Copies of this chain bind each other. A is one copy, B any other.
Amino acid sequence: MNSVFRALADGTRRQMLHDLADGERTVSQLAEPFAISLAAASKHIKVLEHAGLLRREVRGRTHFCRLDPGPLASAYEWLGFYERFWTSRLDVLERLLRKEDESRPQPSKQGDDQ
């Protein structure tokens, strides 16, 4: 779990995952959108691989990567434990009120509700 969340804690790697969601990609293809060296991208890919989020298949001199959703499912499951906290009536009410607050930046007469 540690390595999974750690891997997700970086925008570069999250976008790589997003790219992999469209299908198989080579290391160069994954690196292409970023202004970093291939070696740096290679390290990111290794982090994803170590977290089990990415599987690599070497065909010739090219490394083809594909998404492995297993750890994402585990993370999703872990977070699911807390689902009740953001779907509870109290929390929904609280967020509604906060949203109300944001869309009404004139604190002329706060306290109509609640």
A residues contacting B by CB (< 8 A) are 1-6, 8-11, 14, 17-18, 21, 67, 69-70, 72-73, 75-76, 78-83, 85-86, 91, 95
Copies of chain A in the complex: 2
Given known contacts A1-B14, A5-B8, A14-B1, is B82 in contact with A72 (CB within 8 Å)?
yes
Given known contacts A72-B82, A82-B72, is B2 in contact with A11 (CB within 8 Å)?
yes
CA distance A5 to B8 in the complex (A): 6
* 5 residue pairs, one from A and one from B, having the closest CB atoms: A69-B85, A5-B9, A6-B9, A73-B86, A69-B86
25 pairs across A/B with beta carbons < 8 Å?
A1-B11, A1-B14, A2-B9, A2-B11, A3-B9, A4-B9, A5-B9, A6-B6, A6-B9, A9-B9, A14-B78, A17-B82, A18-B81, A21-B85, A69-B85, A69-B86, A70-B86, A70-B95, A72-B82, A73-B86, A76-B76, A76-B82, A76-B83, A76-B86, A79-B79
